[in-house]
Amino acid sequence: MSPKVTEFRNPFHEFEVGFNVIMDMIEPGTRVLDLGCGTGTLLKRLRDEKDAEVCGVELDQEKVIRCIERGIRVMRLDLDEGLGGFPDLSYEYVVLSRTLQQLTRPSRVVKEMLRVASKSVIAFPNFANWKAALQYVIRGRIPMCGSHPHPWHSTPDIHPLTISDFRDFVDQIGGKIEKEVYIVNNAPTRSAFWANRRAEWGCCLISAA
């Protein structure tokens, strides 16, 4: 686990704490697919530190090119069009990091993840975080903070959710949460008092029930 960092991260900063949590959930030497892989930072770490066989999916052209420049296998695809091309259980892990809340059809994508890999790792911003909630309740503003860095009109986060929402969601689509890690004050923890209101991020390992 990385040292505790107190300040909220700039959104363009690599998601280091979250990546450490995800890394810890993945067994070495496995095949890992990262959906919405960005410039391939996590995949590069998985390849170099976990000896994983990695592949990314990303929609942004520039990020896709960056992945290829970094020697990362990548496909430029739109997740909202599904994972139709990926055969059943062709990976050990599928990762969806900071992308769930941006999908048009999250349930379709997560169901597909459960089909494509035996385990899925999903990291998402927790919209019930109290600092964010206070902005809404006290200031009367749509929250903007480290985990929700964009103003309402330009945020890609079209499907805000909370850790509690996520538990229900996984249940509804026929999945099972095997492990939950919360990122509270930018530090990972397995159990936290009032986690749903204190965590900035949730990160869960799930599988088909």
**By CB under 8 A, is residue 51 in contact with other proteins?**
no
**Closer to other proteins at the Cβ: 61 or 172?**
61
- Measure the CA–CA gap between 94 and 32, rounded to whole angstroms: 6
Both tokens of 106, joined, read 């999250």
Positions in 52-71 near other proteins (CB under 8 A): 61, 64-65, 68-71
Please, which residue, 61 or 154, has the CB nearer to other proteins? 61
**Closest CB to other proteins among 38 and 202?**
38
Residue 44 touching other proteins (CB under 8 A): no
Using the rule CB under 8 A, which residue among 47, 98, 119, 197 binds other proteins?
Answer: 47
Q: Which of 28, 85, 156, 174 binds other proteins (CB under 8 A)?
A: 85
When binding is defined by CB under 8 A, the residue of 77, 94, 121, 132 that contacts other proteins is 77
For other proteins, the closer CB: 118 or 137? 118
Query: CA 117 to CA 120: how far, in whole Å?
Result: 7
Size of the site for other proteins (CB under 8 A): 19
Rg (CA), the chain: 16
Distances (CA, A) of 45 to 22, 82, 115, 119: 11, 26, 25, 19
Measured from the CB atom, the residue of 71 and 156 that comes closer to other proteins is: 71
Asked if 192 contacts 114 with a C-beta cutoff of 8 angstroms, the reply is no
Q: Which of 2, 20, 90, 185 binds other proteins (CB under 8 A)?
A: 90
For helices 16-25 and 41-50, the axis angle rounded to 10 degrees is 40
How many other C-beta atoms lie within 10 A of the C-beta of residue 167?
Answer: 15
Pairing mode, if any, of strands 74-76 and 53-58? parallel
Interface positions with other proteins (CB under 8 A): 47, 61, 64-65, 68-77, 84-87, 90
